[in-house]
Amino acid sequence: MPSFRIEGGHPVNGEVTPSGNKNAALPLMTSCLMTDEPVTLHNVPDIGDVDTMRSLLESLGVEQEPLGRGSLRLRSHAAVPGRLDPELCRRIRASILLAGPMLSRFGGIDLPPPGGDVIGRRRVDTHLLALENLGAEVGYNEREFHMRAPGRLRGGKILLDEASVTATENAIMAAVRAAGTSVIRNAASEPHVQELCHFLNGLGAKIRNIGSNTLEIEGVEQLHGGEYTIGPDYLEVVSFIAAASVTGGSVRIRQAAPQHLDMIRLVFNRLGVDWVEKDADILVAARPPLEIQSDLGGFVPEITVMPWPAFPTDLVSIAIVVASQAKGSVLFHDWMYPSRMFFVDKLVSMGARIILCDPHRCIVEGPTQLIGEHLDSPDIRAGMALVLAALAAKGTSTIRNVGQIERGYERIDEKLRQLGAHIERVDDSAADDAAD
């Protein structure tokens, strides 16, 4: 697997356009199973997770036609329930998003356990309870889930026991073609959940209260085909904001959908980071050294993740790197995943002053001069955080296992090079030579 070799200390400057939202693309791709008419998606990111989802859909008989860069036509008129490759399902968490569409259209699915990032236990109970409320029967053995919907799914009242994004999406897709009306409470409301709702409504679904935590869905007999352009990945947008901030650079991010970043901006303001909105673009200007804003009375501030529209868990790793370059102290608390914080030992090896209090909390004191190091990317978000740390570091860093990063970031090394970053892609043998 290739690695990134990064020479730090060079400001990133220029203009960049983020790719489409991975977390929108994946459920939109699975929802093509709910209609036998063609569905065309634009701004689909060319990343590892999308490739895996395409393979899963292909195994179910979904026809796929690339229409140029970022555009894909999907048609499931010949799709049939089939046995899914357990290895493909283990590669991505989003494989579980096949459950709702397959139950809705075909009345059943045998689904191997989903995989994804290793950031702690990621329960699927919320999905199963939601689907059972719509009339699905669920069994499980050590190898797969057996889901059946005798007759058509029935509308129902669903109270999710956690505001899970993928469980909300599964419930939405199952309820759209269920008989009767469904109400989903404690629903997730992230931008990609909203995109799924708008897309399905464009295919003939009847979803109301989009963007709230209570969705009302009137079931329909069938959906027709359609076309949709996926919005920008706000996680990638924030990654470029962070890259400019830790390197002292100036970046214009085109078509960044700043309307989704209000809470993220509040949190990054506390780390000394800000930007200017110009229409759909974001401008990050070179600023004085970063400084953490203390709580009233000089107390150490705490940044805690919460469901949308609060600060998302997927940005904690990046925020920690930004904090390591800011003057002051801050406590980060991610109660959602017990292994999210375990990557900070890699930052400590680079010279960061971070105290890991427990699996969910760490204290960051900055600023510190990071030093180049040879590291392995543990997951998508931590991997991107290590890239940012390497950009800010003195000397050269090698980041291995970049396939993890490229599951969620399209051509990230090319985009950073266009901004002036000294980053190159090398094969494993060259990376090993550099580490010796």
Residues β-bridged to residue 109:
147
Residue 167 is encoded by which pair of tokens? 């469980």
Handedness of CA 270, 278, 46, 1 (dihedral sign): negative
Residue type, 40: T
Strand ranges across the sheet with 396-400 = 374-376, 396-400, 3-7, 422-426
Residue type, 16: V
CA distance 86 to 365: 43
Active site residue 125: no
End-to-end CA gap in the chain = 18
| Phi and psi angles of residue 232, each rounded to the nearest 5 degrees, phi first | -70, 155
Residue 353 is encoded by which pair of tokens? 């002053």
Which residue out of 49, 117, 233, 379 is catalytically annotated? 117
Cα angle vertex 229, ends 228, 235, to 5°? Answer: 130
| Phi and psi angles of residue 85, each rounded to the nearest 5 degrees, phi first | -70, 115
Provide the phi-psi class of 298: left if phi over 0, else alpha when psi is between -120 and 50, else beta: left
With 0-12 / 13-18 / 19 or more C-beta atoms within 10 angstroms meaning exposed / middle / buried, residue 296 is exposed
Give me the active site residues, please: 117
